[in-house]
């Protein structure tokens, strides 16, 4: 009878252990699944941030390019204006020189 009772106790203990181990396995699986979801969310957020930063860098770069282009346009405009002024001064000097020659020839 002792062996029978002892065998039943061990059987009950083994059943309890099996139930408990199934419960622990379920908890671990659920926990792992939760971690996988968390990792997925973090990876997605990381991609979004990286894409957002890249987009901001592109936007900043485009602003700089536009600024340089604007500066180049302004410089080209100033260069054209300077050339016009130089041509006017040269023309004025030529006319002055012609007038001086004319005046010189009239004096003689």
53-76 pLDDT, tens per residue? 999 999 999 999 999 999 999 999
Q: pTM here?
A: 0.48
DSSP-assigned letters across all residues of 8-48: HHHHHHHHHHHHHHHHHHHHHHHHHHHHHHHHHHHHHHHHH
Extract the tokens encoding 44.
Answer: 């997605």
Report CA 67 to chain centroid distance, whole Å. Answer: 19
Q: 78 or 1: which carries more pLDDT confidence?
A: 78
Helix (H, G, I), strand (E, B) or coil at 1: coil
What average pLDDT does the chain have?
88
């Amino acid at each position: 009878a002792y062996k029978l009772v002892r065998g039943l106790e061990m059987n009950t203990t083994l059943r309890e252990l099996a139930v408990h181990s199934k419960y622990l396995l379920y908890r671990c699986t659920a926990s792992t699944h939760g971690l996988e979801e968390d990792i997925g969310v973090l990876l997605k957020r990381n991609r979004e941030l990286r894409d957002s930063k890249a987009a901001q860098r592109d936007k900043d770069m485009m602003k700089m390019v536009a600024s340089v282009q604007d500066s180049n346009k302004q410089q080209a405009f100033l260069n054209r204006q300077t050339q016009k002024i130089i041509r006017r001064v040269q023309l004025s000097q030529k006319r002055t020189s012609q007038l001086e020659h004319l005046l010189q020839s009239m004096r003689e």
